[in-house]
Structure 1
Amino acid sequence: MDTSSFPGMWAPVLMLGAALALLFPSILTFFRSRRDTESVERRLARRGPVSGEAEQRRPSSRIGKAVTGLADQMAPDDDEQGVSAAKARLAGAGFVEPSAVARYYFVRLLCIVLPQLGLLAALPYLSSLPGTTPLVISVMLVIIGLIAPGMYLDKRTKTRWQECSSGFPDMMDLLVACVEAGLSLDASVQRVGEELELRHPIIAGYMRTLSLELRAGKARKSAWRGFADRLGIEEAGSLATMLRQAEEMGTSLGQTLRIFSADMRQRRILYAEEKAMALPAKLTLPLVFFVFPVLLGVLTLPAVVMFKEIL
């Protein structure tokens, strides 16, 4: 047996053992919490049936219950510093469920453990490689497992921002139409959210939340500021500021919204013109690297052939 391959062959095993050792306290806590939860459920069952909505929220299978409970145990407590940042990041990506943070940390652990298990199973097929190759692959898999969830969240957040930015002028046009038709601003928000359900579902979801906050009695400027923070685009912040100023100064809401909607439409036109003007600059590199060598060959090849015949 080649002793030089010993560190590389056992590297995934050591990393997997370290991951399981870190996971072991969470597993013990999970089983203890499951035992306490089952005891509470038995006590509740003696008192009466559980409501239908609460029953639907619970996982139906034992595997689902185990995964959900393990994810909840792996997440940090609410009083820790990184939880609020993780919640804001997940909310920007569209994950607003109460268990989103717990599942995020659980997925991060899976992204580290599962590749190590796969590498451990593939070790017999890597015996012909140098001894340190499995160690390098193991380290690379750990780095990728740590980075991949964050990259996915960033990409999803950017996609949602682009969709919200492209659909915001449509929302403003519908809002102006509803306000000028005689509806109040709160009723217009509910109506526009229903109309945007198919074309812009992300904005429609945020508007439903805004409508519920307004119906619950939250202050209008606070509700619109929360709507702008959830949407995460500059236009929504400008709209919230404009509505607050219109309410404080007593100006006409319909005229203010119409001016703001025209400004949003003009911004969309300017954005399209900016994209069109940037297109020639973006086409320069493809033209230089792909089209120009072909043209150069077509133009110079006859001369090269003539010089070859003469010489």
Structure 2
Amino acid sequence: MNIVELLTQREFLIGILAAISAAAMVFTFGSSLVVKQDMRKRIRRVAVERDRLRAEEMARLRGGNAADARTSARRSGETKAYMKRAVDRFDLKRAFQDDTTLDKLAMAGFRGQGHLTTFLFQRLAAPIIIFAIAAFYLLVVMPGERPVFLNVTYAIGAGLVGAYLPVLMLKNATQKRQASIRRAWPDCLDLLLLCVEAGMSMEHAFKRVAREIGQQSAELAEELTLTTAELSFLEERSRAYDNLGRRTGLDNVKAVMTALIQADRYGTSVGQALRVMAEEGRETRMMDAEKKAAALPPKLTVPLILFFLPVLFIVIMAPAIIKVMSNGLMG
């Protein structure tokens, strides 16, 4: 039985449709649980970060060691023991970590020593695992008629490509997180402006906006909650604003934080600065919408040629062709 006969069998098609329906039902009912679990993890991370900030600030005020004070706040951020041993034994921090690694992890939503250790371990384990899988497939499952050294070379190449897999996954997570924050940021500025003009302080404004913006962007709500904790515990407010811009990695967020830092340093009106930045955010969002609308006609050209025009020609010319054929048969 060839593949064409298999694909055209009624029982096979019924089985495929039943599998798709079952998968859709599982995804529909399971997506809500996944979203709730993800929100619970975000709340837990925010609580751990808040405890860490509180412990460091209390240690600073008491003149103690802040490193010792962080141990109680990192209980849930600890990673697996074998990962930590591998990172320490092979000195992976020197091999893979640079000055921007922590910032890249923070932009993807991963904070703390546990996530850093996991990322470094993945940089080591990913090429080894992919090389082992590729070698097993090329040498045992499908050796073919190729020489052994050529299959080993292909496996080594797959392992080298797999070395960049954790970096690509981190970049993908960063892009998704930044896209969510970017979409909700103009509305966040409008809410901040309303709260500040209503007489709230910046701490209460960030806390209130984080509560309201959570339905639109959980990532932005998490960052605003961390900023609220930093405004409460850090000695300098400018550090909290600067940390928010650094964690998000977005230029528009950094611009707003710079304006808030200057307003706090020179005593200018925070409401005026937020009003100007909110207007710029709305204009930027409108320009992005116009840019997407202008790029839509070129994107529709190929689908129009492939799918719409042939059907249109058939609808227009089919009656004439049928009439000519019927006249020819009758003649």
Alignment correspondent of 2:33: none
- Write the distance in 2 (CA, Å) between the matches of 1:82 and 1:189: 33
CA positional deviation for 1:291: 4.0
- TM (normalized to structure 1)? 0.68
Matched, 1:143 2:160: yes
CA-to-partner distance for each residue in 1:246-294, whole Å, 9 max, x for gaps?
3355433223323322332232222222212211121123323444456
Consecutive unaligned residues in structure 2, runs of 5 or more: 1-70
Alignment correspondent of 2:226: 209
Q: Which has the higher contact order (CA 8 A, sep 6+)?
A: 1
Contact 1:213 1:223 in 2 (8 A): yes
- Write the distance in 1 (CA, Å) between the matches of 2:73 and 2:254: 35
CA-to-partner distance for each residue in 1:212-268, whole Å, 9 max, x for gaps?
222124323332122112111121122122223333554332233233223322322
RMSD: 3.2
Which range moved further: 182-191 or 68-77? 68-77
Alignment correspondent of 1:267: 284
Alignment correspondent of 2:92: 76
Give the secondary structure class of the aligned counterpart of 2:146: coil
- Write the distance in 2 (CA, Å) between the matches of 1:90 and 1:53: 19
- TM (normalized to structure 2)? 0.65
* Aligned residues with identical type, % of pairs: 26
Which range moved further: 198-207 or 285-294? 285-294
Contact 1:210 1:227 in 2 (8 A): yes
CA-to-partner distance for each residue in 1:11-61, whole Å, 9 max, x for gaps?
xxxxxxxxxxxxxxxxxxxxxxxxxxxxxxxxxxxxxxxx986766667xx
- Write the distance in 2 (CA, Å) between the matches of 1:202 and 1:274: 25
- Write the distance in 1 (CA, Å) between the matches of 2:72 and 2:251: 41
Give the secondary structure class of the aligned counterpart of 1:128: coil
Contact 2:126 2:162 in 1 (8 A): yes
1:124/1:198 CA distance change after superposition, 3 Å:
same
Opposite residue 260 of structure 2, the aligned amino acid is L
1:284/1:108 CA distance change after superposition, 3 Å:
same
CA positional deviation for 1:70: 2.3
Query: How many residues are treated as equivalent by the alignment?
Result: 254
- Write the distance in 1 (CA, Å) between the matches of 2:162 and 2:206: 42
Give the secondary structure class of the aligned counterpart of 1:209: helix
1:15-54 equivalent positions in 2, closer than 5 A: none
CA positional deviation for 1:162: 1.0
- Write the distance in 2 (CA, Å) between the matches of 1:199 and 1:222: 26
Alignment correspondent of 1:129: 145
1:135/1:185 CA distance change after superposition, 3 Å:
same
1:188/1:53 CA distance change after superposition, 3 Å:
closer
Opposite residue 151 of structure 1, the aligned amino acid is L
